[in-house]
Structure 1
Amino acid sequence: MYLLAVFEAQSRKRSGVAGACPIPVSGGEISWKDLIVSEAKQNMQAKAPVTATQNRIRQVKSAIKRLADENLVLRNVGEPGNTFPLMLLHESGLAESEKRGYLIPEYYEGARTVVTLPVQFFTNGWVYVLKDSEIRMYLILRHLAARFSESHALHGVYLSERDREWLYGISRDVYEAHLALARFGLIQLVPNPLRHRDGKVVEFDNFLKKGGVIPPHRFWVVGDSPFFESPLGKVRRALLNHPPSRDQMRRRNG
């Protein structure tokens, strides 16, 4: 929801404060109900029957409320009777007394403050296909590749445990999303003679006994070209070729 709102703002304006989003939650030619892809089922057996459309609208409103709770948007902006569902605020989620409108990034802003994505990430549907964890990990790797462009070109970039926890605030499970990103062709794992193809260290026990330092995974971000086509074929092939293990299914069902 947040990425789509940012995309809408940057598509509508080229500079300055984004202002209120004119897209309604429902109704009209285009609405958030149509832009959000999520599982919404009908429940006609309830005391008050609920259709799938009503459930989708509830999900959209819930997402907007969550973003408002995080100080990332304002809800119901505008005059009474002519309100807009949301207005983006500054990305940092500033406190109530310091709220500022979302400012469209300028072309000259550097890699430390801006993470770029091609338009096709949205228009070809990648934003709907990738899981939240996969999107987060991919944005982090794009950020690192832009910040350390020379190192990225020569040796790839890596994410240390300290930076993973303190700089980007992601868990080990989110970090493991790099496996799916590689299968989808969005990144490449830099070959390392000390690791097997699945990432495990060669002769791990002996390696530790010798006092070896485990080298971090290094990654190359492929670039924008994978987004120029539909993700469905790539993702389908990757999932068929790499089905979840029994342990993964157990954790998912648990």
Structure 2
Amino acid sequence: MPNRSTAADKIKARLDALTALRRGGLSDVSLGYLNLLGQGKSSHRGKAVRLRRTYLRHDVPRPVERERNGLPREEQPPAARLIAPRGVAGRLHLVLLFAAHCQASPGRQWPNRIPIEPDSTQPFSWMGLIGAHARHTPGGRRVASPRVNKARQITEALKKLRDQKLLEFPNEGTSRPFRDFRLLCDSGASTDAAPIPYTVPRAADPGIDVPLHFFLRGWVNLLTPSETVAYLMWLDVNQNPVHDEPYVTGVERAGHFGLSRDAYETHEPLHAFGLIDVEPALLRHEDGKYTDYGTQSGRPICHRVALTNGITRNAADSIEPVLHEFAATGRWSRPLGTRVYS
């Protein structure tokens, strides 16, 4: 767990980025999602974005040397492999899947024709659909504007998704290598020799349904990569129950989802933001250790986590007061007067 000064620095940076995003048109990004959804297939309107379950979770758990650390990156499911302190690859990939759901029918491939930068011939661009804090960088050989930096963030994210076998560049080697890039299957099963084209999942395909509010209300752009993947994990735990209560054991969290304990601990900010309700394990200390381990007579000592309707609230308005509270107290807490329902 980071020390107080390190945590405070991270929170300040996050608040600064949130302020910059709001000034830089975060609401316009969400409006872009709403417009994209409006042109979509009627079967998707008012519904969710479905992710294949293997995007998040191995069907058979992988053995782990240290449960605390999760799986090595190369053995993690695709969603966990996209967790990184910098870059927008995980965020961009989810927005790509959202766009595919808007523009293609279940069972069909998505013909991506959205350009990276806006032009007069296209109603959408990836720069307009991604909320990313791109600073002006003075000095050096070139002076990069926020626009140039944002375009670079997106192209670097596309390269990372290509490296993870989640998309391909049919125009690689040309003057416009990123034009009309193609999504590969979100299961992560593609190889260089045998790429699997992405098709929009059908309702019968094993998966999870991500609420449209996750995109329309700004959460996709404001949660950290670890918070995002942890939230997807809790969606899976609640939508595809393995136990009679909504919890995940350390072995499941590490071996199935590939996540470290640090990623699991994001249940604290997710609870404070109002996205989940957490029933703490009675005998568990803050450091993860237990008092009288095994005395709850067959009831695993794990937090119970239920989804709430907090996803329907504006993400920026929900997150900002929580970050200010953490900056003042060093603890995650839900603001007084905030009511969410399971």
**TM-score, scaled relative to structure 1:** 0.80
CA–CA separation in structure 1 for the residues paired with 2:141 and 2:318: 43
What residue is the counterpart of 1:219 in the other structure? 305
Structure 1 unmatched runs, 5+: 248-254
> Who wins on radius of gyration, i.e. which is larger?
1
Once the two structures are superposed, residues 14-38 of structure 1 have per-residue CA deviations (whole angstroms, 9 ceiling, x without a partner) of 2233333111011224211122222
Q: Which residue, 77, 93, 97 being the options, matches 1:2?
A: 93
CA–CA separation in structure 2 for the residues paired with 1:181 and 1:231: 11
Q: Which residue, 234, 240, 246 being the options, matches 2:324?
A: 240
- Answer whether contact 1:77 1:87 (CA < 8 A) is retained: no
| Per-residue deviation, 1:85 | 3.9
Partner-residue secondary structure (3-state), 2:303? coil
The number of residue pairs the alignment matches comes to 232
What residue is the counterpart of 2:197 in the other structure? 101
Q: Which residue, 248, 261, 265 being the options, matches 1:176?
A: 265
Q: Which one-letter code corresponds to 1:232 in the other structure? A: A
CA–CA separation in structure 1 for the residues paired with 2:103 and 2:152: 25
Structure-2 change in CA distance of 1:170 and 1:129 (3 Å): same
Matches within 5 A, 1:21-60: 21-28=112-119, 29-60=123-154
- Answer whether contact 1:25 1:85 (CA < 8 A) is retained: no
- Answer whether contact 1:137 1:174 (CA < 8 A) is retained: yes
| Per-residue deviation, 1:92 | 2.5
Percent identity of equivalent pairs: 25
| Per-residue deviation, 1:246 | 6.7
CA–CA separation in structure 2 for the residues paired with 1:227 and 1:32: 23
Once the two structures are superposed, residues 97-146 of structure 1 have per-residue CA deviations (whole angstroms, 9 ceiling, x without a partner) of 2211111111233xxx2111111211111111111111101111110111
- Answer whether contact 2:281 2:302 (CA < 8 A) is retained: no
Matched, 1:121 2:214: yes
**TM-score, scaled relative to structure 2:** 0.61
What residue is the counterpart of 1:252 in the other structure? none
Once the two structures are superposed, residues 199-219 of structure 1 have per-residue CA deviations (whole angstroms, 9 ceiling, x without a partner) of 8778x4xx36xx747711111
Partner-residue secondary structure (3-state), 2:277? strand
Structure 2 unmatched runs, 5+: 1-91, 332-342
- Of structures 1 and 2, the one scoring higher in RCO (CA 8 A, sep 6+) is 2
Q: Which one-letter code corresponds to 2:303 in the other structure? A: H
